[in-house]
Structure 1
Amino acid sequence: MRPLTDGTELLVGRDGELSRLAAWVCDVAAGRGRAVLVDGEPGIGKSALVRAGCTAAAGAGCQVYWGAGDELGQSLPLLPLLDALQITASTQDPRRGAIAELLRGRATAGKGTDLAAAAAEQVIVLVEELCLDGPVVLVVDELQWADRTTVAVWGRLVRSVRQLPLLLIGVTRPVPRRDDLRSLFRLVGPEGRLRLGRLAEPAVLELVAALAGGKPGDELEALAADAAGNPLYLTELLDALSRSSCLDVGDAGVVELTGGATPDSLPEAIADRLGFLTEAARTVLRAAALLGDGFSVADLATVTNCSLAELLPALDEARAAGVLVAADDDLAFRHPLIRKALYDEMPTAVRIAWHQSAAWALAEASAPVDRVARQLLPMVSTTDSRLPVPPWAVRWLLDVATSLIGQAPAAAVALLRRAVRDAPLDDAVTGALACRLADAYFGVGNIAQAERIACRALDRVRDPDVLIDLHTTVLQCRALTGCLPESLVVLEDAVSRPGLQTRHRVRLLVLIARAQRELGEVDIADRVATQALAELGEVEDRWTTGWALYVLSMVAMTRGEWAKALPLFERAIVIVRGDPALIDLTLRLRINQSVSYGALNRYTDALAAAGQARDLADRTGSAVRLTQVQSALGQLLLGAGRWDDALAEVDVIPDDRKDPSVVCCDHGVAAIIHFHRGEAAAAQWHVDVAATYSERIGDQVVELLVRARSLAFEYAGAPDKALAALLEGLNGEDAGEDLLGDAARLAVANNDAQAAEAIGARVRAIAAESTVPHRRALAEYCTGLLDRDATALLRAADGYRDASRPLSRAKALEAAATAFAEGPADDRGSARAAFTHALDLYTELGAQWDVVRLRARFRAFGIRRGPTVKHRQTTHGWDSLTPTEGKIAALVVEGLSNPQIAARLYLSPRTVGTHVSHILTKLGVSSRIDIAREAARHQPASG
């Protein structure tokens, strides 16, 4: 961690920048957050300026946290933020300790687990909780060296500053300017950018006078001009001249040069400073330079094999020479360029050997995985390095591979790839290394390379446990690339080999069953999974039993036997619960259990199961499962008529972190809601975004997106095209239960008898002998539409009521009202009653488009409904808040943080954050304090 104060720094010529920074500090102290990027060339005074602002912030009662990126640590995630927030395994704070434990991989969701993503979410929650204790200033210095996860978290926090008393400051250089850093500049906007240029001549002379102790003479003034207005260069230049006794203060207070050599560049000036150190101090500092810009004294003692007493003289000398400064309980180089000078003066071969020695010492001391990996990485990232991975490092890699892959898969790829290259071909360890390397490539998303490595290893590995692991990796890869038949051939060959132990044979059978189910061969999958359980008998094998039951439950879901699937899920969850190796399976079971409950219209149970899955995915870092469960929540809430909550859930995770099919589902949910609410522009935006992702999923049918596209045509007055879109989506054998009702309605509206009859037959087949309320309601609905039978349509409405599907119920009531009004009996009384019930339901949903359409249609029958209580008529202001937003606003007023509100309402902190953002937008305010102020203004009106 870098120092927050340094009394040796002089700020000259920065009055304007200091004034802006002081204003931002005043704002955050008053509860109004902001994100700021301070940029400028190295040595221009960025850090000094921000430290001055942090000193002022601390004086104003703010909590100040400071971390810095490091060129040596770019492959390891979150280091600047972990450093800033004091997140270590030894911390006494349980919040910080939980993040440290997560990154150590104590509980992960298996292959593809993104521990960094999970830790990033927890870091965001921690920042929010810290903001509850008081205003926070969080600085990430040297942001250009930060890892991509840190930059992503910084960007997420930028979007939250309106909700928090948080002043978020990033300090960066103009180069290197990565794409993710460019996006941060767009996020903060021009008003959040503070660019530091070179000092003007008057400021240069003022700084030189302060450093030299008098007015500079002509020669010194000319020499200072060569520093090009860079404060660090000026400081190093004056210090070098002072050390060389090249300055003389005359009687008039004018400082003159007295001759001698002068540094002609900043690197030369820094070298001059280092040249005054003893060789013993330089040796210690070279070791420190291996550890980064900031370092732990304990780590330095470990890598130098010296006691603290032996190190103190060198450290004291370095601090006296202005090379090192204190940074809380640790030390740091006064400027990164000083560390770089020490680091670069070592020959590459020597430097790499030192890194390797440091890695061994840290590993022997049981240092965290990231610290050891940081020392090994230069050995594999330097192109001319010929050093093999030493045997101890191979053993270490195998021990920590799962944690390292989850935490830093790119670093794991680099290290494991070199270890595999250097291992002997006949070494039994090679297979295990290759297996872990395949997992690492899977972790970084290079599925093709993961598959290639795993397949090659299958030919060499003899250890049956490693073979099963490799087959699992290949199966997962090929499931994503559509090449499962090839994997199935290999698996069937493997299971037929003689001499297999029962444990290994049944595991191979389970993999075969999984492949067959993925290929749509549900009967074969059913048979093979059942066989695996039978052969296992009374032998306890949680992996085999859990996965076999999972396959059987998925087979039941595919067949539409939802009630049969539930006990299978429950039995499997009991078996796998608490097993760290089966977390991904637990997540799959919970998510699909939620879907099954939803299909049976048991929404309370469905939402509870989804909530449990979301919490587990959060804790264990399963980004893939987290996006799936968030999408499942959105779909459940859409069906249950909780549309505002649905919009919040599908908006929680950025699109670039989701599978393309999940993106299409989520935007489909949002588009459907916006179309029904008459918000055509917003709806069409979601359809258009989904279209860019649908190209990546080929022929896969995403029913929610099909519904959205059909609604777009219907909204535009093209019911024939709306029907065509639905019929295209119904082409697949398994597609369509949620599409059939709208297809039947549009077929009748378009007088398409052929389509109507085909849809009716399909519905009757689905609903035959079904006890699921919404399926029986669907059959009544389609029958009523085709036969214009108002009574059947009312039965459908009752069925949808029992199924808790308000939109479908409203449509059935609307159709019943039409049938009554158009029927031979011309039953206006029944028509009016059905119309009124439909109108009330649409109004409660906020389905303004349906309300307007329904009123217009029934005016032709002379049926009208007077003005009702306004519901969601306004889109801005206090009255526009939804019930959920109103509850959250009330809890904000109480002073609760997002995590506390989430716990109170059984939501995720992300979802609460989305709701708070919507509240701020609707109220047109910029902070949580403003929400409280608005609540106070409306309190008399609300009672």
Structure 2
Amino acid sequence: MSNGALTTAGAQVQPLVGRTAELAALHGQLHEVARGHGGVALVIGEAGSGKSSLLRSVADYAHDHDIRLVWAAGDELSQAFPLLPLVDAVEGAKQAVIAGLLRGKDADGVHIVDPVLAASDQLIDWIDDLCSTTPVVLVLDDLHWADSASIRLWHRLTRKAEQLPLLVVGAMRPGYDRQELAALRRRVAALREVGLGMQFELEPLASDAVTELVAELVGGTPSRRLSQLAARAGGNPLYLTELIGALAREGSLTQDDDGHVDATFENAPASLSAAIADRLDQVPPHVQEVLSLAALLGVEFSVGNLATVAGRTVAELVGMLGRAQSAGVLKTVHGGMAFRHPLIRDALCEQVPASVRAALHVEMGRALALAAQPATAVARQLVAAIDISAELASADWLTDWLVTEGPTLVNQSVSVAKTLFAEALHHTSLADPRRFDISVLLASALFRAGEFEAGERVATQALTTIDTRRIDDDLLLDAYTALADVVLSLGKFDAMLILADEARSLRDWSIRHLVRIDVLRARAMGKFRETEAESLAIDCLAQAREVGVPWAIGSACNMLAFLRIVHYDPDAGMEYLNLGIAAVEGDPALYDLYLCLMANRAYAYYLMGSFDDLASAVFQVRQLAERVGNRRRMMQAELFESCRLFETGEWQDYSVHLEASDIVDLREPLVLIDAAAAALHCDDMEKADRYTKLAESAAEAAAGASIADNIFIIRALWLEYQGKPIEALDELMKGVRKWDAAYWPVADAVRLAVACDRKADAKVAVAFAEVTPYKKTLPGLALLCRGLLDRDPAALEQAAHFLRERQLRPRLAMTLEALGLVWVEHGNTGKARAALNEALDLYEKMGAAWDIRRARATFRAHGVRAGSRAARKRPATGWNSLTESETIVANLVAQGLSNPQIGEQLFLSRRTIETHVSHILAKLSLRGRVDIARIVNHRP
């Protein structure tokens, strides 16, 4: 028997051993994705357990089967910068668009309110577009290091995977207690229950798998001594690989003629970190020095950035990086290089003393700033330094850089911006002219973070302690305007007026600036000096139009429109809104004001009962708000859509809308009351009970606000549903007597009062309806109430005409039902039956099973029977179980339209369409959109 030494050069590839079941399951999901069916997979395991090897197998399979691969990885240094890993994975022109959004501007220069929200929507659209042409696998490695926004987006994409040819794969280490990671794991577990997801917990390799892995690494049968040594690794594949590599490099492995491999060693690495250190020892000291700087850049880094911070040319680095790659320390990745394993980077970082590491981070940040690298690259280094040493030393270059890049930094990471601005402000003297700029930036970051009072303190201090005579007119007035907006949002109208008056007296302003200040004064007075405020706003509007100040025109029009709307004159309000929209439309600097005007126009359409116009306006507001990530306006759009769907009786779509949107999470009492009412009318007790409890909780939380008083509406409806009309009437009359504006439940009070023979209550409610300020916008209400009391068919027919024109179907059905009863009392059975049949048609289209049952019973008691119509229950599954909207969506899916395209056709949000598609898949027991197309295209 002859012995020979075994040697190894460079990196050993860790074979995928002991993970057969996981690999087979992943390949099975990849096969399904290729067929058009999506899924989710989450791989959880300790460092070195084989997660990366499994993900490599996913990438290899995707490459071999023409599946589009999108690969992203979390980064420890990037956690404070939302979405960076995913944005880096985007290719082509789309990446520049999304990166621009994260910097706070879109391609047209429009300011982005919430860059993360806007960029997230664009990333979703990009994945949608990819999936429309090819199956896609999205991998997000190192989820435990990913920023919160990336994890939330990964979570959102799991919902996409239920419908699209999309496999969403993630890998993470256990033991990270972040809330969003826990939610993500719960989501995958839920999908696993329905066969759409899988989750792997990678345990240490079993002894037979360890033996197999060692045999593959050494190319022979391991001896007993080598096997005992391998047992030190505790079943960790990376440790095993590094251990065998260290032994081979030292010439400690020998192989006999029969292929048995033995280990002759003195100092085998006793831990994984020792094994990694042994690998690092294979590169020369000057290369290790460069690698230490690379480690401070992150797990992945660009060679250009490394050259910048190392003070070397790229040509000088090529040979060194090549040596490191040959030694298995580095690997090439798309767009740069990366450490072969994060633990290698960790080992390099730990070799540098903390104080030195902090100083290096600052110097590297300075070098990147001087090289005009992106703000995120510089800020990553500065934040890393703060994490180590708690604060930054005073540096002029840093203050100058923050003044220049500050606005971009606020958009890219509010938390980082707050930290750096506060540090810079701490080191900037009152005499430094840059202090005002830094103060304004810090205040804006605090405002963006929702810390309004802290932002107010910073801004106020800047305006009162800094010599503002040196500040440019526009910059100074912008600061006052921003502060005024925050003060107004806090409800401090007196303080806002003082602020505006202070600004007016500060210097000799031009007429253009004075108009802006006076608009602020008018807004401040609007709450408690309404007449004076309106007069000032009218003057401001005239002056602004004369000198051409679009912001002042739009702001004055918005204020005047609001005053008209709250005084129940939406037509006059609409005139102001259209004037303001025309003044600011197309100006990127005034986009937020434009969006505010558009949202108020939608509200005016609602008050005018123009529901077709409202549907279009809501869709437009939603699209505009999504473009800039304006969550407040998005929620306004959802609120208006909720009102439209309820008032027009589109109750089945209303339920879908509530499920798809975040509007329920806002705990708006009126929306929840409407939701509970719709569910009761439709005999859906589970939803009625849920929404009622939510409504009562929301009303309790909003105690004191007039909208909280609306809870009487749903309480009365429950009592009537339970067959207690007198108690229901008592509840309604409480509301009627304390309300200061009429509402449709007043008509229910009249209806029940007449039925219960309580004429006095009926007269109170009718009198209330006839003097309401709503009389101009809702004349049908007074007609309905008067017709119910007087049993007057002419008044009821007039009310029905108004309601039919306004498409207020629930109230129209109620009016027609009442009209039928009045015709019965007048002895005209034919007209009674016609009115009843029309009411039942409407109830049936709305799915109002309770109303159908109640109305038929009432008319039977009077000897009037409708046709053969019955309250048919829709089947739970199959094609006939689809609602009208679901059928339309299914046909559009079959035509190959994406969810955004379908939404544009139907004036619905993408999430509403997604919810419709989910319902279609569930009702038809299908896996994906391709199955919907197949079913639709094969129907007769």
Letter in 1 for 2:910: P
Residue 3 of structure 1: aligned partner: none
Q: Distance in 1 between matches of 2:109 and 2:694?
A: 30
Alignment check: 8 A CA contact 1:631 1:665 kept = no
Letter in 1 for 2:397: W
Letter in 1 for 2:631: A
Q: Distance in 2 between matches of 1:680 and 1:441?
A: 45
Residue 97 of structure 1: aligned partner: 96
**Residue 604 of structure 2 is aligned to residue 599 of structure 1:** no
Matches within 5 A, 1:809-824: 809-821=812-824, 823=825
Q: Distance in 2 between matches of 1:473 and 1:747?
A: 53
Alignment check: 8 A CA contact 2:639 2:663 kept = no
Residue 810 of structure 2: aligned partner: 807
Matches within 5 A, 1:40-189: 40-86=45-91, 91=92, 93=93, 95-107=94-106, 113-189=113-189
**Residue 649 of structure 2 is aligned to residue 634 of structure 1:** no
Residue 676 of structure 1: aligned partner: 681
Alignment check: 8 A CA contact 2:34 2:135 kept = yes
Alignment check: 8 A CA contact 2:391 2:423 kept = no
Q: Distance in 2 between matches of 1:752 and 1:411?
A: 66
Say which is worse superposed, 293-302 or 12-21, in terms of deviation.
293-302
Letter in 2 for 1:440: A
Q: Distance in 2 between matches of 1:641 and 1:170?
A: 43
* SS at structure 1 position matched to 2:25: helix
Q: Distance in 1 between matches of 2:774 and 2:735?
A: 22
Residue 305 of structure 2: aligned partner: 299
Residue 932 of structure 1: aligned partner: 933
Report the alpha carbon displacement of residue 735 of structure 1 after superposing the two structures with TM: 4.5
Letter in 2 for 1:505: L
Q: Distance in 1 between matches of 2:562 and 2:55?
A: 56
Say which is worse superposed, 286-295 or 869-878, in terms of deviation.
869-878
Q: Distance in 2 between matches of 1:262 and 1:801?
A: 87
Alignment check: 8 A CA contact 1:248 1:257 kept = yes
Matches within 5 A, 1:488-887: 488-495=497-504, 499-517=508-526, 519=527, 521-536=529-544, 538-654=546-662, 659-661=666-668, 664-702=669-707, 707-720=713-726, 722-723=728-729, 726=732, 735-751=741-757, 753=759, 755-766=761-772, 770=776, 772=777, 775-821=778-824, 823=825, 825-868=826-869, 873-887=874-888
Residue 355 of structure 2: aligned partner: 349
Q: Distance in 2 between matches of 1:275 and 1:667?
A: 66
TM (norm. structure 1) is: 0.91
Deviations 1:399-441 (A, max 9, x none): 3333332332222222222222222133332233222222222
Alignment check: 8 A CA contact 2:43 2:171 kept = yes
Q: Distance in 2 between matches of 1:23 and 1:149?
A: 29
Report the alpha carbon displacement of residue 858 of structure 1 after superposing the two structures with TM: 1.0
Structure 1 288/367 Cα, relative in aligned 2: closer, same or farther at 3 Å?
A: same
Alignment check: 8 A CA contact 1:684 1:712 kept = no
Report the alpha carbon displacement of residue 38 of structure 1 after superposing the two structures with TM: 0.7
Say which is worse superposed, 878-887 or 560-569, in terms of deviation.
878-887
Alignment check: 8 A CA contact 1:69 1:141 kept = yes
Residue 39 of structure 1: aligned partner: 44
Deviations 1:675-733 (A, max 9, x none): 22221211222233344444443433448866445434433334455456555656776
Alignment check: 8 A CA contact 1:676 1:847 kept = yes
Report the alpha carbon displacement of residue 312 of structure 1 after superposing the two structures with TM: 0.5
Q: Say which of 318, 326, 330 aligns to 1:324.
A: 330
Report the alpha carbon displacement of residue 769 of structure 1 after superposing the two structures with TM: 7.1
Matches within 5 A, 1:140-289: 140-189=140-189, 191=192, 192-289=198-295
Say which is worse superposed, 106-115 or 537-546, in terms of deviation.
106-115
Q: Distance in 2 between matches of 1:142 and 1:638?
A: 45
Unaligned runs of 5+ in 1: 1-5
Structure 1 928/296 Cα, relative in aligned 2: closer, same or farther at 3 Å?
A: same
Residue 895 of structure 1: aligned partner: 896
Letter in 1 for 2:313: S
Report the alpha carbon displacement of residue 216 of structure 1 after superposing the two structures with TM: 2.4
Letter in 2 for 1:682: K
* SS at structure 2 position matched to 1:759: helix
Say which is worse superposed, 6-15 or 808-817, in terms of deviation.
6-15
Q: Distance in 2 between matches of 1:854 and 1:507?
A: 59
Deviations 1:111-143 (A, max 9, x none): 992110111111112112111111111111110
* SS at structure 2 position matched to 1:133: coil
* SS at structure 2 position matched to 1:737: coil
Report the alpha carbon displacement of residue 272 of structure 1 after superposing the two structures with TM: 1.5
* SS at structure 1 position matched to 2:140: strand
Alignment check: 8 A CA contact 1:451 1:474 kept = yes
Letter in 2 for 1:672: A
* SS at structure 1 position matched to 2:772: helix
Say which is worse superposed, 342-351 or 114-123, in terms of deviation.
342-351
Say which is worse superposed, 809-818 or 710-719, in terms of deviation.
710-719
Q: Say which of 426, 432, 435 aligns to 2:437.
A: 432
Letter in 2 for 1:814: E
Alignment check: 8 A CA contact 1:112 1:443 kept = no
Identity %: 38
Structure 1 747/156 Cα, relative in aligned 2: closer, same or farther at 3 Å?
A: farther
Report the alpha carbon displacement of residue 804 of structure 1 after superposing the two structures with TM: 2.0
Say which is worse superposed, 191-200 or 293-302, in terms of deviation.
293-302
Q: Distance in 1 between matches of 2:104 and 2:152?
A: 21
* SS at structure 1 position matched to 2:169: strand
Q: How many residues align?
A: 918
Q: Distance in 2 between matches of 1:122 and 1:386?
A: 36
Report the alpha carbon displacement of residue 346 of structure 1 after superposing the two structures with TM: 2.1
Letter in 1 for 2:882: L
* SS at structure 2 position matched to 1:538: helix
**Residue 449 of structure 2 is aligned to residue 441 of structure 1:** no
* SS at structure 1 position matched to 2:912: helix
Q: Distance in 2 between matches of 1:228 and 1:258?
A: 21
Unaligned runs of 5+ in 2: 1-10, 193-197
**Residue 428 of structure 2 is aligned to residue 419 of structure 1:** no
Alignment check: 8 A CA contact 2:741 2:773 kept = no
Letter in 1 for 2:877: H
* SS at structure 1 position matched to 2:132: helix
Structure 1 715/452 Cα, relative in aligned 2: closer, same or farther at 3 Å?
A: farther
Q: Say which of 23, 27, 33 aligns to 1:22.
A: 27
Letter in 2 for 1:606: L
Report the alpha carbon displacement of residue 750 of structure 1 after superposing the two structures with TM: 5.0
Residue 493 of structure 2: aligned partner: 484
Deviations 1:488-507 (A, max 9, x none): 34434544556444444332
Report the alpha carbon displacement of residue 255 of structure 1 after superposing the two structures with TM: 2.6
Q: Distance in 1 between matches of 2:176 and 2:840?
A: 59
Structure 1 527/402 Cα, relative in aligned 2: closer, same or farther at 3 Å?
A: farther
Say which is worse superposed, 595-604 or 228-237, in terms of deviation.
595-604
Structure 1 677/254 Cα, relative in aligned 2: closer, same or farther at 3 Å?
A: same
Q: Distance in 2 between matches of 1:711 and 1:476?
A: 41
* SS at structure 2 position matched to 1:270: helix
Letter in 2 for 1:852: R
Q: Distance in 1 between matches of 2:686 and 2:600?
A: 33
Letter in 1 for 2:790: D
Alignment check: 8 A CA contact 2:651 2:846 kept = yes
Q: Distance in 2 between matches of 1:624 and 1:441?
A: 18
Report the alpha carbon displacement of residue 612 of structure 1 after superposing the two structures with TM: 1.9
Structure 1 442/509 Cα, relative in aligned 2: closer, same or farther at 3 Å?
A: same
**Residue 913 of structure 2 is aligned to residue 912 of structure 1:** yes
Alignment check: 8 A CA contact 2:138 2:168 kept = yes
